[in-house]
Chains A and B, each alone.
Chain A
Amino acid sequence: MDWGYILSVMVTSAFGVEAIVFGLAAIGVNMQFGYTGLLNFGQSAFMAVGGYSVAVTVVELGLNFWVGVVLGLVIAVLLALLLGVPTLRLRADYLAIVTIAAAEIIRLVLRSVTFKDTFGGSDGISAFADDFYALNPFPEGAYEFGPINIRNEDAMWVLTVGWILVLLCCLVVWALMRSPWGRVLKAIREDEDAARSLGKNVFSFKMQSLVLGGVLGCFGGFIFAIANQSAQPDNYSTELTFFAYTVLILGGAARVFGPVIGSMIFWALLAFTDNFLNGAINAGYISGDIINNTQVGQVRFMLVGLALMLLMIFRPQGIFGDKRELAIDAR
């Protein structure tokens, strides 16, 4: 078994595109769920909006890539308003039901035969991010930073832009959450009626949080689509949303860097278990009668689930959480 290779892949995954995409999605969920207590189970819809806006604008409408980016952000805001207006005055669970249903509706519309000419059906749309790669300043070739291997200059460019975006989003979240605005969101999470009784327009603040979280998810959608140069409907299933929640809980909710670190650990763990199991099977340490190489893909999720359980038992506040806060709930 090549431990050097396994560890190298693990570290590379921690800084890979998936870590960026799910980091951004989880930063959005953190804004909504971690800080405001809104259960948005439709984060995948906001990511789909990001990916498809760019794809449709470039391929179907023949417009500039950046027009697609702006369009994506506008649609993400409108989608958040559409989901929020009927539900944010109601109890928290209504938003959860509406968002998860909306996300599935959007995915099914995107893959429908009726709209095949616009959205490309179940095959989706590909090759639309050339304008983005045209700005790439990195010279051709593979890049290597210690154990991190980056396969070519395009991947390098996506990773650079992606991580800058992640840091900028963290900066915005940090600046907002130390402000009186952030204080109102946390107050709403704790008790809406108390916030109302102190003269805060709870509906408006919840809406702002939902919109901002959706826009952050949309950024994740951009990176997702750009990195693969493709937008496929089944990539935006509810699984995506639940991975974002997993990442958030792993890192610690209501912490600025919680979702980012959570995402890095999540993808590093997946890469490690994948390569470790495959290596162990190939080397004969694990008998093929127990698991074979084709089953590894499933087993690694079991192991990540196990890791998550252990985390919840021994460090329920997540990696970055504050134990004092949990002690209050236990009262």
Chain B
Amino acid sequence: MPAETTTMGDPIVPGSRREAALRAFADVPQEPRSKKPDPIVIVDDMVRRFGGLTAVDVAHVEIQRGAITALIGPNGAGKSTFFNQLTGFDQPDSGEWSLNGKSLKGARPYQVARRGMVRTFQLTKALSKLTVIQNMLLGATGQKGESMLTGMFAPLWRGQENANTDRADELLARFKLDAKREDFAGSLSGGQRKLLEMARALMVEPELVMLDEPMAGVNPALKQSLLGHVKALREEGMTVLFVEHDMDMVRDISDWVIVMAQGQIIAEGPPHSIMANQTVIDAYLGSHHDEALAPEDEPARIAEDEAAEGRGLLEADSSPTEDQT
């Protein structure tokens, strides 16, 4: 089984959702446009242009249900634009995309969220002047008290509010934010805001959680706890799609990796094979990249270059330093 060949991350527990996810990916071809056994999101021919620049040009991609999928790629690859389009924050010029088989085309961000796809933001959007618990309660859906008329009469929504508060307190305890319950969200540290944003997204009871760079600006200690929380989402049956630059995180928690470059999806596969994929390396470093030059290699390299290009040229290069002395 390919699951057993994976050497990264924690040991695979038989019967866990992680094992199920890895099993689901076993027969999926490791190439762009590959079909997944049980896709929650399907995207076809999504194109977004900003003037002359084609930011996103995705022919076909499927996101597997119940798995953690990473979306990686060099800066400017179109990951965030693609993310914004899936969640309705930006509308593509053309294309079809669906959640659970129902088209999301033209859906506004709040409609996307209500359908079960909830996102977080790269720059955390904690609601600074609301307390932590108020931030959490905002996430609850279908609140009776959110209508102006019923809102005026507390007995009409108090029961529901109490139930939501209990659920919010449980989540806060799980994310270790319960001590901060009554503090303004603006007084939290950057990492705590990331935790709050994730906990708040869970109040919506999403099927698919979209995390936009969850590790950006988070200290290493908190990183471990965030990783644990993301893995826990999968074990609860949620699907996770995240954009990330932190390769350790990608290797550690993702079941499947999608690589974007220049708006297109250039590779798909499990993390260990993606890291070794020549197309991916070329996309990140350029196809004519050189290896990093270690100090101890330097004399050998210089000798090599001198042999190849002739001594005189290199001596001429070093002449400015002589002029300075």
Contacts and interface: CB of A to CB of B under 8 A. Distances in A.
A193 B121 contact: yes
Nearest to A201: B110
Contacts of A184: 138, 146
B129 A194 contact: no
A186 B129 contact: yes
Contacts of B95: none
Contact of B148 (A176, A190, A324): A176
B151 A179 contact: yes
A271 B126 CA distance: 44
A190 B134 contact: no
Which applies to chain A's interface (DSSP): helix, strand, loop or mixed? helix
Given A190-B128, A328-B128, A181 B187 contact: no
B130 A172 contact: no
A212 B127 contact: no
A294 interface: no
Contact of A180 (B121, B146, B204): B146
A91 to B, nearest CB: 15
Contact of A199 (B130, B134, B147, B204): B204
Contacts of A180: 137, 143-146, 151, 157, 161
A144 interface: no
B148 A208 contact: yes
Contact of A331 (B109, B134, B147, B186): B186
A193 B128 CA distance: 14
A96 to B, nearest CB: 21
Nearest to B138: A187
A198 B130 contact: no
Given A186-B127, A186-B129, A325-B184, A196 B110 contact: yes
Interface in B124-156: 125-130, 134, 137-139, 141, 143-148, 151-154
Interface in A114-128: none
Interface string A276-308: 000000000000000000000000000000000
Contacts of A197: 87, 89, 109, 113, 118-121, 125, 201
Interface in B45-67: none
B196 to A, nearest CB: 11
Contacts of A324: 184
A227 to B, nearest CB: 28
Contacts of B143: 180
Contacts of B141: 199
B200 interface: yes
Interface string A312-331: 00000000000011001101
A190 B127 contact: yes
A201 B107 CA distance: 12
Contact of A328 (B114, B137, B186): B186
Contacts of B152: 172, 175-176, 179
Q: Report which residue of B126, B138, B139 has the largest number of chain A beta carbons within 10 angstroms of its beta carbon.
A: B138
A111 interface: no
Nearest to A328: B186
A181 B148 contact: yes
A69 to B, nearest CB: 21
Nearest to B118: A197
A183 B121 contact: no
B129 A175 contact: no
Interface string A177-214: 01111111011011101111111111000001000100
A194 B130 CA distance: 12
A187 B141 CA distance: 15
Given A194-B127, A201-B110, A328-B187, A181 B121 contact: no
Nearest to A209: B148
Given A172-B152, A175-B152, A328-B184, A196 B129 contact: no
A176 B119 contact: no
A200 B154 contact: no
B124 to A, nearest CB: 9
Contact of A198 (B134, B139, B144, B153): B139
A193 B186 contact: no
A329 B113 CA distance: 29
Interface in A143-194: 172, 175-176, 178-184, 186-187, 189-191, 193-194
Nearest to A190: B127
Interface string B192-229: 00000000110110000000000000000000000000
A328 B126 CA distance: 12
A35 to B, nearest CB: 11
A193 B125 contact: yes
B125 A191 contact: yes
Nearest to B141: A199
Interface of A: 172, 175-176, 178-184, 186-187, 189-191, 193-202, 208, 212, 324-325, 328-329, 331
6 contacts: A180-B161, A196-B89, A198-B113, A198-B138, A199-B111, A212-B148
**Pairs A-B, 5 closest by C-beta atoms:** A328-B186, A181-B151, A180-B145, A179-B151, A199-B113
